[in-house]
Amino acid sequence: MLQEDFFSPLIRRACMTAVWHHATSGDADARFKQWEEEEEAESARLAEEEELLALWPYKPSGWFDNHFDIKNPRMKVAKTMTMLGVEEGGDLGASFALMGAALEGEAAGARVLEDLRAMDKHVAKEALDFVVHRFEGSSSILAASEGVHISDVECLAELKKLILDDVQAEEKDFCDRYETVMTSWVNERTEAVGRERHRNTEKDMRDLAVKQMDGLQKQEEVLTYFENELQIELMSHVALEKTAEKDEEIRACTKNPSTSRSLDGGLAGWRTSRYDRYLRTLHPDLIDLRAKAGKNWLPVPCRSSTKGGRWSNKMYHMVDYHRVPWWSV
């Protein structure tokens, strides 16, 4: 019922046979009783529990679609028999639709009996007996069953005959279609494997080419170094000499600031050395050199000179008040 898969007459009639046995043997009613007991036990358990208030993200709408929301196993069997009967048609289909309505309930069975009588439909005697015996003593069922035409069809025998005919008629066609599908599947898988193998081969070749290029590049670097070894050594020597000259300039600026004004064509070395010397004069507890190294002045609150007199303190006061470097005063 949930699958609604009725495209194949063979599958549909095999399902009809299984559902017929399930309904007439009482298994559907037994499953319904077991489900009903479980539902009652669950309701009793929930009734004994303490009521809790909870916040739900949405409010259930209470919608019941009468198909996927069905939990009752007997209702599922009833709807399955009804749908199979409608798909089959004829006297056999009418018999199955009647039995499905009877499993659904007394009102549904009486309604289907009246419809069959109004449409002058024929049903199997065993299907009508199933309904009358199920609702024995029901006046509505007895009244609705009067005048219903009885067919001479026997459901199980008719189903068996139809299944055998379908098997004989469809066996060769099914085998041919199955062979075609399997052949197509094998060809498709073979092509997919070939494409995958080709991609793997290309990837391996690319990886090998990259490794070879890396090896050649390293060899070229080695050969190039030995070819240009003299030039590389000369460049390294020149770089070391420039670094040594720069260090010498910085040391000269530190020792004699007045001579550093002409170095590098400006006052950069002089300013750097004076600023470094200014930083070194400050007490380490009064300044965070790492956090404020990017500034060109570092104000220190409540500073007083350890050497000198009143004029030194006045200079420090002006520096701290105007927040400027001390050499600008």
| 223-238 mean pLDDT | 72
What is the pLDDT at residue 198? Answer: 92
pTM for the complete prediction? 0.51
* % of the chain surpassing 90 pLDDT: 24
Q: Where are the alpha helices (DSSP H) in 49-154?
A: 73-88, 90-104, 106-118, 125-134, 139-145
pLDDT, average across residues 83-108: 90
* pLDDT at 192 (0 to 100): 94
54-81, pLDDT tens digit by residue? Answer: 888 887 777 888 888 888 899 999 999 9
| Angle at which helices 9-24 and 27-48 cross, to 10° | 70
Residue 263: predicted pLDDT: 44
Range of weakest confidence among 34-48, 146-160, 219-233, 313-327: 313-327
Residue 23: closest CA among 116, 102, 139, 89: 102
Average pLDDT, stretch 171-199? 91
286 pLDDT higher than 60: no
Count of residues in the chain: 329
Report pLDDT for 144.
Answer: 87
Tokens representing 70 are: 């069905």
Query: 302 falls in which pLDDT band (50, 70, 90)?
Result: very low
Q: What gap in Å lies between CA 89 and CA 67, rounded to an integer?
A: 22
Going by C-alpha positions, the residue among 83, 118, 110, 117 that lies closest to residue 97 is: 83
- The 3 state secondary structure assigned to 219-259 is HHHHHHHHHCHHHHHHHHHHHHHHHHHHHHHHHHHHHCHHH
Residue type, 61: S
Find the distance separating the first CA and the last CA of the chain, reported in whole Å.
99
Q: In percent, how much of the chain has pLDDT > 70?
A: 74
